[in-house]
């Protein structure tokens, strides 16, 4: 029996980036709206990318068609 292939999720490929070491980068939450009440330093902090948690690795790799 052949190994099942996964289709790449269009939503996932827009939201995650795979690093050279195989980790997944994602955006921080809270930077999409209601920005007038947030301080400039907080908005700068939210600008940075962050490594996704290990608990989500299997789910993200399935969505990206890697596993």
What pLDDT, on a 0 to 100 scale, did the predictor assign at position 3? 77
What pLDDT, on a 0 to 100 scale, did the predictor assign at position 35? 96
Look over the chain and give the mean of its residue pLDDT values, rounded to a whole number. Answer: 93
Cα–Cα distance measured from residue 61 to residue 6, given in angstroms and rounded to the nearest whole number: 10
Structural domain 10-63, CATH architecture = Irregular (4.10)
Report which DSSP code applies to 56.
Answer: G
* Cβ-contact 25, 17 below 8 angstroms: yes
What pLDDT, on a 0 to 100 scale, did the predictor assign at position 59? 94
Name the residue with higher pLDDT: 24 or 4: 24
Write down the pTM of the prediction: 0.81
> In the chain, where are the structural domains located?
10-63
Nearest-5° Cα angle at 12, 61 to 64: 30
Distance in Å from the first CA to the final CA of the chain:
16
pLDDT in tens, 33-48: 999 999 999 999 999 9
């Amino acid at each position: 029996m052949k190994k099942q292939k996964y289709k790449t999720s269009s939503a996932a490929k827009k939201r995650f980036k795979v690093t050279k070491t195989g980790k997944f980068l994602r955006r921080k939450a809270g930077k999409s709206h209601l920005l007038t009440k947030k301080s400039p330093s907080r908005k700068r902090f939210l600008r940075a990318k962050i490594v996704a948690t290990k608990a989500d690795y299997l789910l993200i790799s399935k969505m990206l068609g890697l596993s």
